[in-house]
Amino acid sequence: MPVYFRLVFVTIFVSICGSLYGQNTKGSISGKLWLDNSWSSTIYLSHIPTFDDMYVMSGEMIIAKTIIDSLGYFKFDIDFLPIDENLFRLHIVKKDDSPATLIIGGKDENHLFFIANRSSKIHLTGKSAYPPFKNVIFENSIENIAFQQITNHFFIADSMASESSASKRSLIENQLEEDLFLMADTSKIFLVSLYAIYKNRFSSNYFLNKDFYTSYVNKWSKQDNAYFNSFKKQLPNRDSGYLTGIIAIVCVMTVIGFVVGKYSLLKTNNIQKLSVQEKKIYKMLQLGASNQEIANELNIGLSTVKSHVSSIYSKLKIKSRKGIMDIK
């Protein structure tokens, strides 16, 4: 074969291989959901800059959208995402609702969090219609399988606690705390590990587990991203002097007093949105009553109680009974 034709052949071969390689490495997020006709056929992708923003919603956070076909399939091309792994959220909305609508809790909870970068190939399958993202299976995505396991573990423990007496609920919550510490300590995937820390409400148990958090920060000290930096900023400054510490405490307490007052006012306003029956159930939840105890007291079915509890969570924008107990 003449040299000229060999060069042409090699050029074409390299071009084809490069094209195939590019196709194989192009990132995507695809999946299948079970949806009834109350949902819009559009699914949205949002970037979550820190774990503190997981339940923040605005139109500016939405970075892409695509159509869900009549069989429930969808796909995003994600070659515009960052090179490093970040946190993202998928969400859908009810027909006629604003795209920037987030439903927290209940059968219409409309969102799912996951980890990705521009080369990720993520495929998920929803196994439940109510809510659509409750039972999701990730294929060939170790980090998201682990991420989802933390979500499911927390949900199961919280559900068990909601059906238990106050003393049993305390045992379940203590065990959950230990499990989340173990997940955070053993996971080799940074965002999965940090997610377990956030689900463990680190800001409320820091001083009881100070050695763990000190070790944790040292372990991941090479991480230089918004997720880790936001987490570290919320930890007490170990290097500050005594006077600085006292001043900081006074300032923090003042701010907390203002924020808590404002937060309580907002929650109080939301409580007014509850129905008469929901207000009765809300008061019993604050007293630590289980779902069965509420059903017995109000002479209603257990499934009815669960439905009311989900509605209360959604209206008050909380995720668990602890959120109710925190409302003063």
Tens digit of pLDDT for each residue in 278-306? 889 988 888 888 888 898 888 888 878 88
Q: Is the pTM of this model over 0.75?
A: no
Asked if 124 and 169 sit in the same domain, the reply is: no
| In the block, residue with structure tokens 């949002």 | 46
Asked if 106 and 149 sit in the same domain, the reply is: no
* Contact (CB, 8 A) for 138 and 29: no
Asked if 134 and 146 sit in the same domain, the reply is: no
Q: Residue 43: beta bridge partners?
A: 66, 92
Asked if 128 and 42 sit in the same domain, the reply is: yes
20 falls within a domain: no
Asked if 163 and 219 sit in the same domain, the reply is: yes
Residue 317, domain extent = 273-328
Among 140, 172, 191, give the residue marking a domain's end: 140
Asked if 76 and 136 sit in the same domain, the reply is: yes
- Residue-wise pLDDT for 229-280, tens only, equals 999 999 987 554 444 455 555 555 655 555 455 445 555 667 888 888 888 9
Would you give the DSSP letter of residue 89? E
Spatial separation of the C-alpha atoms in residues 242 and 256, rounded to whole Å: 21
Would you give the DSSP letter of residue 209? S
Asked if 120 and 35 sit in the same domain, the reply is: yes
Would you give the DSSP letter of residue 140? S
Asked if 133 and 175 sit in the same domain, the reply is: no
Q: Residue 62: beta bridge partners?
A: 46
Angle at 49 between CA 46 and CA 51, to 5 degrees: 105
Q: Give me the pLDDT at residue 240, please.
A: 46
Asked if 180 and 216 sit in the same domain, the reply is: yes
Asked if 83 and 136 sit in the same domain, the reply is: yes
